[in-house]
Amino acid sequence: MTDIPRAAEVAVIGAGSVGIAVAYSLVRRHGVRDVVLVDALEPMSLTSAQSGENYRNWWPHPTMTAFTDASIDEMEAIDRESGGRLNMTRGGYALVTRRERPADLIRELERGYANSPGSIRLHESCATSYQPPLRGPWSAAPGGVDVLLERGLIRRHFPSWADDVATVIHVRRAGSISAPQLGQFMLERLRAGGARVLRARVRAIDGGAPFRLELETEEGVRQLQAGRIVDAAGPFVRDIAAMLGEDLPVRCVFQQKIAFEDRQGAVPRQMPFTIDLDPQTLAWSEEDRELLAGDPATRYLVEPLRGGVHCRPDGAPQGRWIKLGWACNDAATDPHGEPPLDPQFPDTVLRGASRLHPGLAANLGRLPRGARHYGGWYAMTDENWPLIGPLATPGAFVAGALSGFGSMAACAAGSLCAAWVQGERVPVWARALGLERHGDAALMAELVAAGRGSL
């Protein structure tokens, strides 16, 4: 029988990577012992379980760069404390385009890294001192960004790519982590500090500071009184806010990935996480094109698709598995239903990825046995920035809308939200990550003009 507490100082609703990080920071950084982490599912079992397990400090805005830099700092500290438990590598992010000297992308880099002068290095000849990527320890990797502008240099270091690549932006403070290990480490520490994890569904929230939560548990309906609450419910963040009479500007978009064994060795193991920035129109036979164009559900496959198809080696450096993804879906989806996996997606993402990685085309129509097709709901704002900070209801806070960057930003999101909960100071830039930014007309106009905040 589950021990159902009757009261808590803080109730964190949602036991994904972000909710766990909030509870962890409340316990470890602020000494709050009476914390209850509430979720209807096992911790890290919904969207967090579908993580791409990547991280980077590349963003076209210095606020988001500072935010993810803070999160990477915390992940490095945890990796050191745990003896390398996060399996943290730093091969970087490679942003690839066929455009010669893309001035707009370089301006975005300069803006995003405005607080780190000298961190952008341009390589315009084969004689340059560019350090090639290695999926080795993060502590040995360089920082900053390398911009490769010479085709011969690109071919020398990335021979598996298509010959038409003209520019590579190699973000160096980026790589991969074990998201399950990060979540498990924080769970162990917060439990050891006195926090409790409660398997229950929140059905209603009444009152305010203290709040009365009506919980549906295996033993029936129970009540929990909480002095403060944190809405960290992932794709259900709007549901919890609605129980407080608030409407968050968040929608859910379902994004998919595939993972499989790269038996042909099309993707070198030292290759960084690679994003093809260029839009493309997929190659089809005339017969297939006609069939796809005739069905409203598949017509988009014969039309130009936006850039962003990505690929990276998965697992151990000596392994053979890879991951592919393409956030080409913009349609909002109800997260309460079954995951809308598209049976066409594996073929679609393979075709898209084969434009940059020609060797992957050998898998078209015959993915290796054991290949995995999966996906998760990305809770996001229109500008694709998170919501971290106070809600309109006194004593209630939110840590959500972390879209496709939940695992990499969880640590900083948890620290910032915990500081808000405890009334502590937060960095000046952190205020733009909360609801108050929607009252800043200049910032919102800037973000809309720049487009979505990330890929």
Give per-residue pLDDT as tens, 341-373: 999 999 999 999 999 999 999 999 999 999 999
pLDDT in tens, 325-341: 998 888 899 999 899 99
pLDDT of residue 321: 96
pLDDT of residue 15: 97
Q: Is 399's pLDDT higher than 90?
A: yes
Q: Is 199's pLDDT higher than 50?
A: yes
pLDDT of residue 451: 61
Question: How far is the C-alpha of 360 from the C-alpha of 352, rounded, in Å?
Answer: 10
Instruction: Kindly state the percentage of the chain with pLDDT values over 70.
Output: 98
User: Reduced to 3 states, what is the DSSP secondary structure of residue 110?
Assistant: helix
* pTM score, whole prediction: 0.94
Question: How far is the C-alpha of 183 from the C-alpha of 19, rounded, in Å?
Answer: 10
Q: Is 453's pLDDT higher than 70?
A: no
Q: Are strands 174-176 and 54-56 parallel, antiparallel or unpaired?
A: antiparallel
Q: CATH number of 93-175+252-380: 1.20.1290.10, 3.30.9.10, 3.90.950.10, 3.50.50.60?
A: 3.30.9.10
Q: Is 396's pLDDT higher than 50?
A: yes
CA dihedral sign, ordered 16, 18, 20, 22? negative
Question: How far is the C-alpha of 322 from the C-alpha of 134, rounded, in Å?
Answer: 16
pLDDT of residue 64: 95
Non-local CB neighbours of 385 within 8 Å, separated by 6+ positions: 63, 64, 401, 432, 433, 437, 447, 453
pLDDT of residue 67: 97
pLDDT in tens, 15-69: 999 999 999 999 999 999 899 999 999 999 988 888 888 999 999 999 999 999 9
Q: Is 70's pLDDT higher than 70?
A: yes
User: Reduced to 3 states, what is the DSSP secondary structure of residue 141?
Assistant: coil
Q: Is 128's pLDDT higher than 60?
A: yes
User: Using CB atoms within 10 A of its CB, is residue 180 exposed (0-12), middle (13-18) or buried (19+)?
Assistant: middle
Domain with CATH 3.30.9.10 in the chain: 93-175+252-380
Q: What mean pLDDT do residues 224-244 have?
A: 97
pLDDT in tens, 255-312: 999 999 999 999 999 999 999 999 999 989 999 999 999 999 889 899 999 999 999 9
Round the average pLDDT of the chain to a whole number and report it: 93
Q: Is 452's pLDDT higher than 80?
A: no
pLDDT of residue 455: 47
Instruction: Render 325-357 in DSSP notation, one character per residue.
Output: E------B--TTS-----TTHHHHHHHHHHTT-
Domain with CATH 3.50.50.60 in the chain: 7-53+179-249+382-450
pLDDT of residue 22: 98
Helix (H) or strand (E) holding 419: helix 406-421
Question: How far is the C-alpha of 266 from the C-alpha of 364, rounded, in Å?
Answer: 13
pLDDT of residue 454: 45
Tell me which architecture the domain covering 7-53+179-249+382-450 has in CATH: 3-Layer(bba) Sandwich (3.50)
Q: Is 159's pLDDT higher than 80?
A: yes
Question: How far is the C-alpha of 222 from the C-alpha of 229, rounded, in Å?
Answer: 17
